[in-house]
Structure 1
């Protein structure tokens, strides 16, 4: 018998939308308040942009770096979930997203390695990762970060975000008010 709460949770995230990100850059808007997680995310941004900017000569090495980073990064998050008894309903959804992302990276890496796909497909994967990441961090990782901080420190972290130009935490995104102001 399925858990209705779990079904609703999965349905909510299945309907998530992504915004096209032109350039993914690390900034304070991406901070979640758990230092080790923020460090992993900073590294992810760097590695994905290297993949996005890869050439025919560097694409396979960049794919291997993304794959290795994601395996390590996701294993670390899964370890945190287990150590802190993160609720199963959220853990399952979070892990499912990780599995989907890894499956895509593995597939593109394998096909690129045997020459069945080219640089365009590699760059599309990088774009997909760039578009996926801010939403995943905001919905999945922020709840895990808050849970970890609550379990280990007894409360929420205070996150100081410097030099944010607008309300949006999505790199390259703009708040609705700024977009309306520019149109006027």
Structure 2
């Protein structure tokens, strides 16, 4: 893939991966079918919501928890990319998003620690993470999950998502289960 195509790919994902989220809650809709990744995402939701709900007294501790989680989480995903020979063009785009997120978290944490920004800025960071995550998981992490499953198990995971309501679901539908093989 040429540099131009790579830049277009990155711009495409950047456009598609951000939408406003009122409340980020763990649910089956976030499952990607790679257990360790799903566990990391569950923890991400937990630490980001703790940051979103932090007070003046708890904000720095919550920021430190988000920062520590993201460093470990992203390092783990990078390790998976390397171990499974995830295609470089997608790996670069994925890593670029991780770097941008970490840079924002580091900056807010540093400024909050020296009192140059307040709780409002910390909560705006949490909101930005809440808005970013579902799209990143849907587009970037789902392709990595599918790749890992293909490389390690020779196929795609089947993900059962319980009790999801979809706008296009027919009212009165008898089924509360959706089977989805999520892929990029």
Q: Is the 8 A contact 2:17 2:134 kept in 1?
A: no
Report whether the alignment pairs 1:115 with 2:77: no
- Give the distance between the partners of 2:121 and 2:41, measured in 1 at CA: 23
The equivalences for 1:14-163 within 5 A come to 14-16=14-16, 18-163=18-163
- Give runs of ≥4 in structure 1 deviating > 6 Å: none
Q: How many residues align?
A: 169
1:145 to partner: Cα distance: 0.1
Match of 1:161, SS? strand
Match of 2:38, SS? helix
Q: Is the 8 A contact 1:5 1:89 kept in 2?
A: no
- Give the distance between the partners of 2:68 and 2:56, measured in 1 at CA: 20
Q: Is the 8 A contact 1:47 1:62 kept in 2?
A: yes
Match of 2:160, SS? coil
In structure 1, the residue matched to 2:175 is none
Structure 2 length-normalised TM = 0.88
- Give the distance between the partners of 2:160 and 2:16, measured in 1 at CA: 27
- Give the distance between the partners of 1:96 and 1:45, measured in 2 at CA: 21
1:17 to partner: Cα distance: 5.2
Provide, for residues 26-73 of structure 1, a one-character-per-residue CA deviation record: whole Å limited to 9, x for no partner.
000000000000000000000000000000000000000000000000
- Give the distance between the partners of 1:17 and 1:141, measured in 2 at CA: 11
Match of 1:133, SS? helix
Q: C-alpha root-mean-square deviation of aligned residues, in Å?
A: 1.5
Unaligned residue ranges in structure 2 (runs of 5+): 170-184
Q: Of Structure 1 and Structure 2, which has the larger fraction of its residues in strand?
A: 2
Higher relative contact order (CA closer than 8 Å, sequence separation 6+): 1
Q: Is the 8 A contact 1:54 1:62 kept in 2?
A: yes
1:109 to partner: Cα distance: 0.1
Unaligned residue ranges in structure 1 (runs of 5+): 168-174, 179-184
- Give the distance between the partners of 2:121 and 2:157, measured in 1 at CA: 39
